[in-house]
Structure 1
Amino acid sequence: MGSFRPGDPRQVQDLFEQIAPRYDLLNDLLSLGQHRLWKRQAIAWLRPRPGQILLDLCCGTGDLALVMAAAVRPGGRVIGLDAAAAPLRLAAARAALQPWLPLQWLQADALATGLDAGMAHGVTMAYGLRNLADPGAGLAEVLRLLRPGGRAAVLDFNRADATKLQGRITARVQRLCLRGVVVPAATLAGLREHYAYLEASLERFPTGAALVEQALELGFRQARHRPLAGGLMGLLELQA
C-alpha cells in the first residue's frame, strides 16, 4: 500500500495537491472516459434547472461544476468547494474559458464548509466522501446544506458486500483492476503511492447498503444506492 493514510485530512489534501496536474488525464485513461458518463448520471439525479444554487463538494478540477453551471443559467449559481488549492486553480483556469458560466470556487473542508444551512437546491460529491475523515459527518453536512426537498448525488467507488457471493466476486475484480491496471499505469506517471491509496481508502468505506441506512438515520427522506460499471462504482442518490 502507499504511504498516504486514508482519513487523514492533511495527507489526503497533500495527495490531491500532488496529483492535480495529471488527475484528469489519468481519469480518462483509466476509466476509458466512462467517468464522464457516471458523472452525468449523478447530475441527472439532481435535475438542475435555471435559477438554482448548486454545490459541488470535493469538486477537484471542476468537471461536474462546469456542466451544472451551464444548466442553472440564467439566474443560478454553482459553488465548487475543495480542500486542495491545486485542483481549484485548474478548475478556475477551465472556467475562465467560459466566463459566462455562473461559477464560484471556494477552498474549504467538506466537513465544515462554513456555508449557510439550506442554501443549496442540490449537492454533488464525486470521489470525495470516501476520502473524508468521517464519511457519516460528510453526509450530515450535505443534509445541512440542502433545502427541504433538495437532492444530492454522491458518486464513488463501490465497497462491495463481502457477505454475498456477488459482492465477493465484485471485490475481487475491483482489486484486480486496481492492482493490475490502475497502480501500474499510475506508476508510469510517477504516482504509484497516490493510486495505491485507492484500495486502502476503499477498505474503510461503507457498503452501499450501509450508506443508505446511515443517510436515512441522519434524516434524509429518500436514499438509494445504484451500482454502476458492474458494481465497481456506486451512485448514492439522496433527497432531503
Structure 2
Amino acid sequence: MRPGDPQAVRDLFEQIAPAYDRLNDALSLGLHRLWKRQAVAWLQPGPGQRLLDLCCGTGDLALVLAGKVRPGGLVLGLDAAAAPLELARRRAAAQPWLPVEWRQGDAQATGLAKGWADGAVMAYGLRNLPDPAAGLAELRRLLKTGGRAAVLDFNRPDPASPAGAVVAGFQRLYLRRLVVPLARRAGLEPHYAYLEESLRRFPTGPEQEELARTAGFAWGRHRLLAGGQMGLLQLVA
C-alpha cells in the first residue's frame, strides 16, 4: 500500500474498523487514552463551543469533547471512511444527550465555512493525508482567529541525532515486534505493517512546526510524548 493514497487509506480503515479500538488499547497498553486527554487539555474546550474532530475514526475523542461543550455547543466528527463513522454513530446513540454530529468527508477539503470552528483535534490522521501541508492549511482555514488545535500522531524522530537514532530504533522494534505480530493474530498484518512505511514520509516535529507557520498559524509547538514515540502538535490560529 502506498502511504498517502486516499483510496487505499480509506479502504484500510474500512477494513480495520471492527478491531480498531481493541487493537489500539492492546498496542498502546491503553495509553492512547492518556495522550488524547493531553490533546483535549490543550484545546481547553468549554460550553457553547463548536469543535471539529478531523479524521475522527470511531469517535472516542469526539464524544469526550461533546461532553465538554454542553450546553449550547456542538462537535462535528469527520472521517473519509464509512465503517468507522457507523461505529461512531452507534456509540453516540448510547449517549443521546451529547451534542455530536458525524459526516463523511475529506479532511483536506471539508466544505465547511471559513472560521467554522472554535477549536479542532486530529488524532492519527495527519500522517495518512495525501498532503499534510494541505491538511494543516485546511485546519487553519476552519479555525477562528485565536482558536486552538491539537494534532496527535506518531513522532518521526530524526535519526541523524544520537537521541533520535535511539528513539527511531525503539520505534522500529515496537512496530515490528509488537504491532505487526498482534495485528497478524487479528488477520490485519498488512494494514499495520503500513504504519512504518507511513512514518517514512511523515514530517518531523520541527517540519510540522514550519508547515503550521506556512499555513498561517500564529503559534505552534510540537511536543514529544511517550519518550518521543508520539508527538502532539499544539497550534493557535
Fold conserved (TM > 0.5)?
yes
TM normalised by structure 2 equals 0.99
For the residue of structure 2 that corresponds to 1:159, the secondary structure is coil
- One of 227, 230, 233 as aligned partner of 1:230: 227
| Residue identity in the other structure for 2:57 | G
For the residue of structure 1 that corresponds to 2:191, the secondary structure is helix
- One of 49, 59, 64 as aligned partner of 2:61: 64
| Residue identity in the other structure for 1:177 | Y
Runs of 4 or more, structure 1, over 4 Å off, are none
Mapped to 2, the partners of 1:99 and 1:135 lie a distance apart of: 34
Q: Does 1:44 align with 2:23?
A: no
In the alignment, what sits opposite 2:4? 7
Q: Does 1:34 align with 2:31?
A: yes
In the alignment, what sits opposite 1:144? 141
- One of 86, 104, 109 as aligned partner of 1:107: 104
For the residue of structure 1 that corresponds to 2:67, the secondary structure is helix
1:12 to partner: Cα distance: 0.2
- Per-residue displacement from partner, 1:13-67 (whole Å, max 9, x unpaired)? 0000000000000000110000000000001100000000000000000010000
1:145 to partner: Cα distance: 0.1
- One of 184, 189, 192 as aligned partner of 2:186: 189
In the alignment, what sits opposite 1:17? 14
Mapped to 1, the partners of 2:56 and 2:114 lie a distance apart of: 19
| Residue identity in the other structure for 2:50 | I
In the alignment, what sits opposite 1:82? 79
Mapped to 2, the partners of 1:218 and 1:226 lie a distance apart of: 19
C-alpha RMSD of the superposition: 0.5
Q: Does 1:155 align with 2:152?
A: yes
1:92 to partner: Cα distance: 0.3
| Identical pairs, percent | 69
For the residue of structure 1 that corresponds to 2:144, the secondary structure is strand
- Per-residue displacement from partner, 1:82-135 (whole Å, max 9, x unpaired)? 000000000000000000000000000101100111010001000000000000
Q: Does 1:130 align with 2:127?
A: yes
1:153 to partner: Cα distance: 0.2
- One of 198, 203, 206 as aligned partner of 1:201: 198
| Residue identity in the other structure for 1:118 | G
| Residue identity in the other structure for 2:52 | L
In the alignment, what sits opposite 2:88? 91
1:161 to partner: Cα distance: 1.1
